Every structure is written in structure tokens, then in C-alpha cells.
């Protein structure tokens, strides 16, 4: 008799959550992860970065599309989170290392907004840098014990997808306005 898909996912999530904490839990990665958590709360750090880029005066349409994608992705993550209602990890050996605004876990809204920022800001900031930051943020949510790995992977996929759609839509709208 084989295990159900949900049991396999739960086993994977718990195993990776515990191994991430064992590997990185007593390293400088913890304060870095806590800083990233504060930066990403409600997508405010990404919104501030986008506003700063927009204020520079160059590539304003691209920065506006990036910020719009971040906000839309964060909102999508919050909506899905309220529909799914998966509770955050509660493992005795992996206590949360940062406070969270809710008990809900799936998908990770931090991952949604960060992946959206990678898609939206990558052309201006650099795709490799944004991909690296996204990877670090995803690991940080697991390290802090506030998300399962499946939460952050789903959040990243949702955020990147939403941001790509927003970027295409805003580019096509700008193209129609520029046409005579």
C-alpha cells in the first residue's frame, strides 16, 4: 500500500524544514533571514524599491509595471492563503524565529512578492541578482520555521506568473497608447 500524495508532501515538507533548520539554524543566516522577513512584510520593501526606481526618472513604465506586479502577486497570495487556510508549521523542534501576521501558511506571500519583484525588476536591476535574492528569501522562510517548502515554491510560482501577466498587459497597453 502506497502513501497518499498529501502524506508524501507532508513528509517531504517536514523533512526539509527540519534539515534546513539543522543546517543553517546556528549560523549568521538566521539574522539575515529575519531581516529579509521584515523587508518583505506586506511586500513593503519591494514596493519601496520600485518607488525608488521610478523616482530615478528612467524606465518609469518598467518600474511601474514591476511594482504593479508585486502588489498584484502579494494580493493573489493573500487571497489564495485565505481560501486554502493551511496552518503554519508547528513542529516542537522547529519553532518560528520571527512573528507572523497570521496563522496561514500556503502560499508564502513573501515568496509571491519576491518572485514578482524578480520578474518585474529583473530587467532594470539584473536578472541574476534578483534570482539570487529570490532563492535566499525562499530558503529564509523555511529556515525561520514559518513556511513549509511547498508553501514557498507555490508562492514563487504564483508570484512569478502574476508578475509576468501584469508586465505583458502593461506593455501591450503602453504599446496601444503609443500607436497613432
> Can you tell me the distance from the alpha carbon of 68 to that of 144, in angstroms, rounded to the nearest whole number?
28
Question: Which triple of cell numbers denotes residue 144?
Answer: 525561520
pTM attached to this predicted model? 0.89
Q: What pLDDT is attached to residue 174?
A: 60
Three-state SS at 86: coil
The H or E element that residue 162 is part of is helix 149-178
In tens, the pLDDT along 51-107 reads: 999 998 788 889 999 999 999 999 999 999 999 999 999 888 898 989 888 899 999
Cα distances (Å, whole numbers) of residue 73 to 25, 29, 90: 29, 26, 26
Query: Structural domain boundaries of the chain?
Result: 30-174
Instruction: Dump pLDDT digits (tens) for 104-159.
Output: 999 999 999 999 999 999 999 999 999 999 999 999 999 999 999 999 999 999 99
Report H helices in 93-144: 109-125, 127-143
Among 144, 157, 58, 84, which residue's Cα sits nearest to residue 114?
157
Is the pLDDT reported for residue 4 higher than 90? no
Amino acid at each position: 500500500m502506497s502513501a497518499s500524495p498529501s502524506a508524501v508532501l507532508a513528509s517531504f515538507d517536514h523533512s526539509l524544514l527540519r534539515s534546513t533548520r539543522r543546517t543553517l539554524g546556528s549560523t549568521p543566516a538566521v539574522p539575515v533571514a529575519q531581516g529579509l522577513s521584515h523587508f518583505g512584510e506586506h511586500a513593503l520593501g519591494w514596493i519601496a524599491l520600485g518607488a525608488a526606481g521610478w523616482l530615478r526618472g528612467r524606465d518609469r513604465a518598467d518600474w511601474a509595471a514591476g511594482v504593479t506586479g508585486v502588489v498584484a502577486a502579494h494580493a493573489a497570495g493573500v487571497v489564495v492563503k485565505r481560501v486554502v487556510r493551511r496552518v503554519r508549521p508547528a513542529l516542537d523542534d522547529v519553532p518560528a524565529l520571527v512573528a507572523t501576521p497570521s496563522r496561514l501558511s500556503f502560499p508564502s506571500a513573501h515568496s509571491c512578492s519576491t518572485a514578482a519583484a524578480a520578474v518585474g525588476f529583473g530587467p532594470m536591476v539584473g536578472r541574476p541578482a534578483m534570482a539570487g535574492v529570490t532563492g535566499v528569501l525562499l530558503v529564509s522562510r523555511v529556515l525561520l520555521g514559518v513556511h513549509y517548502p511547498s508553501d514557498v515554491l507555490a508562492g514563487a510560482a504564483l508570484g512569478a506568473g502574476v508578475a509576468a501577466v501584469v508586465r505583458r498587459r502593461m506593455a501591450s497597453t503602453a504599446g496601444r497608447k503609443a500607436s497613432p
